[in-house]
Structure 1
Amino acid sequence: MKEALMNVSARTVLIVGGTTGIGRALAQRFVDAGSTVVVGGRNTDQVEGLETVRVDVTDPASILTARDEVLSKHPELDVVVTMSGVMLTEDLRDPGHITQAETTIAVNLLGTIRVIDAFTPHLLGRGTGDIITVSSGIGFLPFPLMATYGASKAAVHSYTESLRSHLAGTGITVTELVPPAVANAGQEKLNPNALPMGDFLDEVLGQLTQNPTPNELVVERAKALRWAEHDDTYAELLAARSQALSNLPGR
């Protein structure tokens, strides 16, 4: 647990990967709470009503350019949320899946690390701030149809734990958001039981503003995934989730 709650009002927030989905909806929640928000991503033209910055997290130069642009306009930046991600299906019997695997790692894991690296010196210089990473329930209980996605999110979780230790005592807090399936960006088609976006964010903001704020924001729907090994339900749930492999061609 952290020593205090996270204030979501009167902050200056950058959300990388916030042009659609959870990121875009979270950006609006920060705005509604009275914060200044900049949304970063590759397709900023689709964002209306918010300041944007173009950034491709697979391109180190793009990240540094975006950083300089944001900090020149907002030297008071004190919250960085990194949530760029892709969810790609893979057939691990086909060696050609390496293309999807490489893309997934480049965006989900290396993209997260690069964004954090770009802004950590600024936050250290301020002596205060918040970093929010986004893993996934799939990082704790795999969905075998998206093998590398789950692996990348497990890595984001582990990296976040280490980052928190590295930044202890600096005034920078590190929070991990662990979403379940949320009804957004096509997930409702893959999973009709996906949690509605509004309900998800209500829980997230409720946890984010707890005193103290948890290190991990795990909504009720994500707890079965997060704690499957602890609850001794892992094998059963993994077997059920593996049934989706039958949708692959030739299975």
Structure 2
Amino acid sequence: MQITGNTVFIPGATSGIGLALALALQAKGNEVIIGGRRTELLERLTAEHLGLHSYQIDTTDPENVATQAKRIVAEHPELNVLIPMAGIMRVEDWTDPAAFLASAEQTISTNVLGPIRLIAAFIEHLQSRPDATIVTVSSGLAFAPLRSTPSYNASKAAIHMLSESIRLQLAATSVRVLELVPPSVATDLLPGQKDSAIAMPLDEFIAEVVGLIESQPDATELQVENVKFLRYGEARGDYDQVVAAINQHDPHGKEDDGPGLAAGQSRS
């Protein structure tokens, strides 16, 4: 993916990583379109950040996705980058079905079916562009689980394997598949995460991601240094230690006696 000259659609860009990435890509000379469910918030953001475009879109609603995708393509025919950012992260207790089933279903619908719906809605158009990119968003937790968020972990593991698979299918087309793998970042994705001492500051994360896009335009994964502790635990042979470390400091789970995170290491 080239860092400039694109027309980018980022559904789920009304806060956190999505909004910060949208503004960073706009600053690099891209036309950026953001999407979200709340019209009033979208209107406020486009008023505050001149040049941003916005569309109301609910990725849990297949009909809404299909309708809005047609509108976006018609009004922005140069669109060549899709970044499905919308996602939720919920603490769940899987010892009681009444405590987790509804949350699990919503998480999978938002985090897995949402990106699938978006890709389905835009894939024909993207293949018509000479140089297009789908940027999927997984997590370090696709590779090492946080005890308190089972469905989120599973959803991000699904996104990782989906990315690997569709990259193979799209290899002969003009569409590249780039997977963004965040560590824990200081956002409101989970209660307390924004103020967590082990969460990577949002501005530092975005700066490193933009730097990776600039320096590695042919990359298949965007991995900041902080996520490699989780990403490669199994390959290094210290997977059990990685799992123990991230769960020792899980504020939403029970403490264990495993080793803590070393300096510079983050969970996601």
Partner Cα separation in structure 1 for residue 146 and residue 38 of structure 2: 28
2:197 counterpart of 1:200: no
Report how far residue 61 of structure 1 moved.
Answer: 0.6
- Match of 1:162, SS? helix
- Aligned identity (percent) is 41
Specify the alignment match of 2:70 in structure 1.
68
Specify the alignment match of 2:181 in structure 1.
178
Partner Cα separation in structure 1 for residue 129 and residue 23 of structure 2: 25
**AA at the equivalent of 1:218:** Q
2:144 counterpart of 1:134: no
Partner Cα separation in structure 2 for residue 145 and residue 81 of structure 1: 27
**AA at the equivalent of 2:203:** G
Report how far residue 217 of structure 1 moved.
Answer: 0.3
CA contact (8 A) 1:22 1:197 kept: yes
CA contact (8 A) 1:207 1:213 kept: no
Partner Cα separation in structure 2 for residue 102 and residue 213 of structure 1: 35
| Off by >6 Å, runs of 4+ in structure 1 | none
What whole-Å deviation, never above 9, does each CA across 1:1-38 have from its counterpart, x for those lacking one?
xxxxx222221110011111100000001110111111
2:249 counterpart of 1:241: no
The unaligned stretches of length 5 or more in structure 2 are 256-268
What whole-Å deviation, never above 9, does each CA across 1:206-228 have from its counterpart, x for those lacking one?
11122443200010000001001
TM, length-normalised to structure 2: 0.86
Report how far residue 153 of structure 1 moved.
Answer: 0.1
TM, length-normalised to structure 1: 0.92
What whole-Å deviation, never above 9, does each CA across 1:108-145 have from its counterpart, x for those lacking one?
00101110111000011224311100000011111110
CA contact (8 A) 1:21 1:184 kept: yes
Partner Cα separation in structure 2 for residue 168 and residue 177 of structure 1: 18
Specify the alignment match of 1:93 in structure 2.
95
* Number of aligned residues: 242
Partner Cα separation in structure 1 for residue 108 and residue 12 of structure 2: 15
CA contact (8 A) 2:87 2:111 kept: yes
* Counterpart selection for 2:32 from 34, 37, 40: 37
- Match of 2:104, SS? helix
